Structure 1
């Protein structure tokens, strides 16, 4: 029982890992024994994160990657497995949110959102699944969003792309479950990150949101990271095809 969260010997690739929830997830995965491949499009922060992790005793490699470019994804997987070994855990934490009404959606914003939030995840997953099949061992986690399960008049396009990730998790869980590959999504509510500052720094929006959240606060990155650790480890070994909501109870609240 004491080894349920032990990831010793595993190699984990985490995209969007140089800040926010991605960084917290990479850290907790590394602290529990995995070798982590840190990736984002910010080379300077990737290297700084690698150094910080290594100072904590985490075996880490930084490989910057612009996920909008397939050739960089190819290089990420090749270099990652060359440096660290076969990837057993893939955690996709990349995302952009372009606000606006449904009537504001144009082809440029649509294509950019879908490419960064969904298409890159599909392509990257296609690159790592074959080796997971050979090993008969794999975990894939997508960082979706609360927007994937509820309507939103200002972030509708973002929500559509994140709902695609949740459905991708279900599809892959069914197709590759016989290969002992588990696939899940995590859908956080408002978490205290740089990404969420347009919300968290708006007192009017936050007052309303807090009143709609039974725990009466926003979430912390470590609370999302903890769920990722569960899903990546033996402790979550019978969980697959799920979209797990971490929102302090916002979606179940009646507003009282």
Structure 2
């Protein structure tokens, strides 16, 4: 048998929905999928940032549109899913990138912050999978990739909500994979370690915490966002036909060291 690598990774003409797509890794994934020929719907709660990103990508010749939606609100995310299906007649791929984080000592961690992180990271992922999943079940196929984190397996100090939310996302991924396997829907997660963008946003804490995190990564450096894009594309492609319920760690060896 001869293998055609181009067709094995071909997503040309696929309709992909990417949440949290106005910036960061969501934007990178949306741009990568569009560059490979997919029709990409960018979703974000921030309309201003969303439409700026959409305009930037359209100016580069990418086939993208933007739909503002709040993934934590069932009516909002269902309306988005309905709009995508009405416009394109199918939804092939869903990438859940919407996420937030908050660092604070456990005894001072406010309930409101706990609820916010859990609502966006876990509840929002479920509601989006549910809304898009209805269409994927009807059409008998689909690919879902949830952006998790190495912290879904490895905890850290002052991280009382983000780590548990990502651990919950991992279990949600596995449960959906089992339930929807019969419908030819693959559900996986990509779990990266910290990126340089995280450092720039102050999510690594003080210098001591930064050095401690870096020491745990056998490759000795933070992850670049483009290194996350490849595994996501793989899981969305025909090449990953028999991969479902998998948590793919993009962590420089952290979880095995």
Q: Normalised by the size of structure 2, how large is the TM-score?
A: 0.91
Give the conservation status (yes or no) of the 8 Å contact 1:139–1:182: yes
Q: Secondary structure at the match of 2:202?
A: helix
Q: Secondary structure at the match of 1:63?
A: strand
* Aligned equivalents of 2:61, 2:9: Cα separation in 1: 17
Q: Secondary structure at the match of 2:208?
A: helix
Deviation of the 1:75 alpha carbon: 2.1
Corresponding residue for residue 162 of structure 1? 166
Which residues of 2 match residues 98-177 of structure 1 at below 5 A? Answer: 98-177=102-181
| Shift in CA distance, 83/90, structure 1 to aligned 2, threshold 3 Å | same
Q: Normalised by the size of structure 1, how large is the TM-score?
A: 0.92
Q: Secondary structure at the match of 1:186?
A: strand
Corresponding residue for residue 77 of structure 1? 81
| Shift in CA distance, 177/237, structure 1 to aligned 2, threshold 3 Å | same
Which of 177, 181, 186 is the aligned partner of 2:185? 181
Deviation of the 1:166 alpha carbon: 0.5
* Aligned equivalents of 1:151, 1:113: Cα separation in 2: 15
The answer to which of 128-137 and 217-226 deviates more is 128-137
The answer to which of 137-146 and 105-114 deviates more is 105-114
**Which stretches in structure 1 are left out of the alignment for 5+ residues?**
none
Corresponding residue for residue 46 of structure 1? 50
Which of 18, 36, 39 is the aligned partner of 1:35? 39
The answer to which of 91-100 and 177-186 deviates more is 91-100
Corresponding residue for residue 210 of structure 2? 206
Which of 222, 226, 230 is the aligned partner of 1:226? 230
* Aligned equivalents of 2:204, 2:134: Cα separation in 1: 41
* Aligned equivalents of 1:102, 1:194: Cα separation in 2: 21
* Aligned equivalents of 2:76, 2:199: Cα separation in 1: 24
**Which stretches in structure 2 are left out of the alignment for 5+ residues?**
none
Give the conservation status (yes or no) of the 8 Å contact 1:142–1:185: yes
Deviations 1:4-48 (A, max 9, x none): 111112111100011111111111111111110001122122112
Give the conservation status (yes or no) of the 8 Å contact 1:20–1:195: no
